Chains A and B, each alone.
Chain A
Amino acid sequence: MADPKLISKIPEGPIQEKWSKRKSSIRVVSPNNKRKLEVIVVGTGLGGASAAASLGEMGYNVKIFCISDSPRRAHSIAAQGGINAAKNYQNDNDSVSRLFFDTVKGGDYRSREANVYRLAEVSAAIIDQCVAQGVPFAREYGGYLANRSFGGVQVSRTFYARGQTGQQLLLGAYASLNKEIAAGTVKSYPRHEMLDLVIINGEAKGIIARNLVTGEIERFGAHAVVLATGGYGNTYFLSTNAMNSNGSAAMQAYRKGAFFANPCFAQIHPTCIPVHGDQQCKLTLMSESLRNDGRIWVPKKMEDVMKLRTHQIKASQIPEEDRDYYLERRYPAFGNLVPRDVASRAAKERCDAGYGVNETGLAVFLDFADAIKRLGNQRVQERYGNLFDMYEKITNVSPWEEPMMIYPAIHYTMGGLWVDYDLQTTIPGLFAIGEANFSDHGGNRLGASALMQGLADGYFILPYTIGDYLSHKFAEPKTDINAPEFVAAEKAVIDRIEKILTVKGTETVDSIHKKLGHIMWEYVGMARNEAGLKKAIEEIGELRKEFWKTVRVPGTNEEFNQELEKALRLVDFFDIGELMARDALHRKESCGGHFREEMQTEEGETKRDDENFMYVGAWEYKGEGVEPELHKEPLKYENIKIATRNYKD
């Protein structure tokens, strides 16, 4: 039975026709009326920048907000490897349906079929759009676009610009955004942070934002609000997310009535530079594309492990027959290119068994010696040169001479605000796109698909679907920012800031956030179990209390105050962490990135429970200190045969 509060609005009919059908039923707004309509877009990564640019091109009045000094700094910029699209330029029998299938399978059958199909359907147009914007994608010698392969798939459909694909795509979207700012359709508010969502008569009508330079609390009204604020990976303190990435906007929406879906689905990326010490605040990702040519291994013999840890030998001195290429051994069909969750768990398994190759025992090798022999220095340089340089700068070890050391780290969150087929949340007029929503990746996201989703949502999906909502609004006057709802929301924000500033304790924000990170990584990380999750919920509750007693935030609100920014975000990370643990506790199955130790096969693979858990778990906020209520959207697979994920043969 469908939950009456979760109406997914998936169009009827064959999956190939759903999007066309929806588009033809969407009411459009005439150009003279578009001018009267205002849209707020929060976040300027791939989703936000492309959506704001597209809405501007269509003639809407758009306001965009970002916490950085420029829209170009959004965390999308750090994506390295590439973007998927079903172009079939390689003639390897790729197609929309194959990309659709790979994505649903990669997500371990926990994503919504209709949304994923649409994503695959519009993927090709994204590449065309980006090429037209002047994105310098890699080219073959004939001048045609080049492709590489990525984890979890057997075709080459990933387009790339060296190891800086996210940067180039974001600069493309940023350029389009600049075009619209110049045209006057988009107004940009950099160094502004959304601190609350304003609801009037049940509809999203604006936001309260803090000017990060002056500390001024400002009100902004619109006819609709779009959240493109990314994921909540920084709940773990240490992650590959940028330092300022946070889940606060999503949490504000959640507290105002937007349901939060599948919060426990977090992706742990297998190829990150291992942690070097407890002063670290950020982990660095090494692109998944490295697994195209790099081979992952640990020694077979424990004595070699010990010698490595005490620097008596180097990895390159260990003979071929004494190496355990464990991914190639366990998953012959996909080898080093298994999906991220599988590769991460396999690394953990080897390290747990004692074969970790550095002092902490938490590292495995990613080796390019074979690739360099096979391809030659120049081609390896072209493909991975900047990644090699980056690795060497950080670790002082050259991957040309010795294998890289890698270990899994939190990277991406598949969960997010629940949205219907139109990308609208459970609050009318509030939309969520990109990593901020939950819809396309299920329990695990495939590499090079985050960029695809951000741009699909921003260029080609939201600009259409939001029109249907706005088509009913053009007769409404401009939102009055002096309405009591705005005044109340603003006051709540000011009170929250005041409350934080008056604690005047002894602990820094980061030191408390680190403790939250430890709880999350220990109990809500790569392997989870019932006792641990219960403990996590309890410990997060204790830590929250500790925060309100001991945190010290120097300075005032009326100035640039980075400690205050961090403290405000940490308050929300407590709630997200708790929600993640609660969701992980209720989902008594293993699927994708969510691995419940109680639910595994004899070989240690994930064991799904389709009978009881084939649904989206969406949480409804019920008030501070009250347990949230779980709603279920059943998942139906009409076009894909459900199977156990198999990357072995």
Chain B
Amino acid sequence: MEYNVKVWRQKNAKAKGHFETYHVTDVEEDASFLEMLDILNDQLIRKGVEPIAFDHDCREGICGACSLYVDGRAHGPDDQVTTCQLFMRHFKPGATITVEPWRSGAFPVIKDLMVDRTAFDKIMQAGGFITVRAGSAQDGNSILIPHDDAELSMDAAACVGCGACVATCKNGSAMLFVAARVSSLALLPQGKPEAARRARAMVAKMDELGFGNCTNTRACEMECPKHVTIDHIARLNREYLKAKFSE
């Protein structure tokens, strides 16, 4: 199969970017979207064109590295997938496919399709943890957790930190990402002593780093590859309010 790939090229963070269109040939029907980019890169290198830079690693939808805006959607036209789990069978042969990096002020472009997501790490460093030292934990079964609470907590913990929620949000809000962590922990008895501090600190850091506010458009949950829902944003809001009143 053959495709035309209209792709964002940007030499580095300071350079001005632009679109280029390339023709890619010999793509197998079962190829993944990133395999198509591998094939295109191979063809570009042989023609003396610099290959397209993009983040990727596990290629099985769990590391959260891949982060492409394909035909106007975060992670492309399939639902609940990361870009690496998007397959070429979703595109008509000969189609022109537009590929862009995440567009958000908090995620500056590093090169071509790669962005800098260290803002997510910084939010996590602000409070996305339980303060427990190795060696001080009690027996695992001394903390009983109802089955359904553990499952709900796991629903939120499934977040891969890819940033699709931010990229797709018209406000560039990171609420779903922050909510996934806060809600996952809020559903468990562990870490309760620092729950208020956590909610305050993570929200404050998110605001400081230039992410926008949440206006409940639900775009984030539509594009989240792990189907983290905005119920968790509601839980974050509750945690945050509780924390504010306990100040």
A residues contacting B by CB (< 8 A) are: 50, 53-54, 57, 68-73, 75, 77-78, 87, 89, 125, 127-134, 136-145, 161-162, 164, 166-168, 171, 174-176, 178-179, 181-182, 188, 190, 213, 242-244, 276-277, 279-282, 284-285, 382, 389-390, 393-396, 459-460, 463, 506, 508, 510-511, 552, 554-555, 559-560, 562-563
A97 and B182 alpha carbons, distance in the complex (Å): 39
A65 CB, min distance to chain B CBs, angstroms: 14
Contact with A along B158-177 (1 / 0, CB 8 A): 10110000000000000000
- B residues near A144, Cβ cutoff 8 Å: 141, 144
A223 CB, min distance to chain B CBs, angstroms: 21
24 intermolecular pairs with C-beta atoms under 8 Å apart: A50-B134, A68-B63, A71-B121, A72-B161, A78-B60, A128-B137, A130-B140, A132-B136, A134-B184, A138-B154, A139-B147, A162-B158, A190-B121, A242-B57, A243-B58, A276-B30, A277-B31, A280-B35, A285-B60, A508-B45, A508-B46, A559-B111, A560-B111, A562-B53
B106 CB, min distance to chain A CBs, angstroms: 14
Which one of B112-120, B211-219, B236-244 contacts A?
A: B112-120
A473 and B37 alpha carbons, distance in the complex (Å): 50
Contact partner of B35 among A50, A164, A279, A395, CB < 8 A? A279
A171 and B180 alpha carbons, distance in the complex (Å): 12
Are A131 and B137 touching (Cβ within 8 A)? yes
Interface centre among A125, A178, A390 (most CB of B within 10 A): A178
Are A171 and B157 touching (Cβ within 8 A)? yes
Are A139 and B145 touching (Cβ within 8 A)? yes
B34 CB, min distance to chain A CBs, angstroms: 8
- A residues near B140, Cβ cutoff 8 Å: 87, 127-128, 130-131, 137, 145
B131 within 8 A of A: yes
If A178-B129, A181-B125, A277-B28 touch, whether A143 touches B146 (CB-CB below 8 Å) is yes
Are A73 and B65 touching (Cβ within 8 A)? yes
A463 and B153 alpha carbons, distance in the complex (Å): 31
- B residues near A178, Cβ cutoff 8 Å: 121, 124-125, 128-129
Known: A136-B145, A171-B157. 4 other contacts (CB 8 A): A70-B121, A73-B57, A78-B58, A176-B129
Are B132 and A554 touching (Cβ within 8 A)? no
B residues contacting A by CB (< 8 A) are: 11-12, 26-28, 30-32, 35, 38-39, 41-42, 45-46, 48-51, 53, 55-65, 78, 80-81, 85, 87, 89, 110-111, 114, 116-118, 120-121, 124-126, 128-141, 143-147, 150-151, 153-154, 157-158, 160-161, 184-185, 188, 190-191
If A190-B118, A276-B30 touch, whether A54 touches B134 (CB-CB below 8 Å) is yes
Chain A: which residue is nearest B42 at the CB level? A508
A146 and B136 alpha carbons, distance in the complex (Å): 22
A162 and B143 alpha carbons, distance in the complex (Å): 19
Contact partner of A554 among B28, B50, B64, B121, CB < 8 A? B50
B38 CB, min distance to chain A CBs, angstroms: 6
Are A459 and B147 touching (Cβ within 8 A)? no
A78 and B160 alpha carbons, distance in the complex (Å): 11
Are A393 and B28 touching (Cβ within 8 A)? no
Chain A: which residue is nearest B188 at the CB level? A134
- A residues near B138, Cβ cutoff 8 Å: 128, 132
Are B28 and A394 touching (Cβ within 8 A)? no
Are A276 and B28 touching (Cβ within 8 A)? yes
Are B57 and A243 touching (Cβ within 8 A)? yes
- A residues near B151, Cβ cutoff 8 Å: 136, 382
Interface centre among A129, A166, A562 (most CB of B within 10 A): A562
A72 and B64 alpha carbons, distance in the complex (Å): 9
Contact partner of A460 among B124, B134, B150, CB < 8 A? B134
Are B118 and A136 touching (Cβ within 8 A)? no
Are B87 and A393 touching (Cβ within 8 A)? yes
- B residues near A459, Cβ cutoff 8 Å: 134-135
A396 and B59 alpha carbons, distance in the complex (Å): 17
Contact partner of A279 among B11, B28, B114, CB < 8 A? B28
A559 and B56 alpha carbons, distance in the complex (Å): 18
Chain A: which residue is nearest B159 at the CB level? A171
A161 and B139 alpha carbons, distance in the complex (Å): 18
Chain A: which residue is nearest B65 at the CB level? A73
A181 and B89 alpha carbons, distance in the complex (Å): 43
A164 and B226 alpha carbons, distance in the complex (Å): 12
Chain A: which residue is nearest B126 at the CB level? A182
Are A129 and B59 touching (Cβ within 8 A)? no
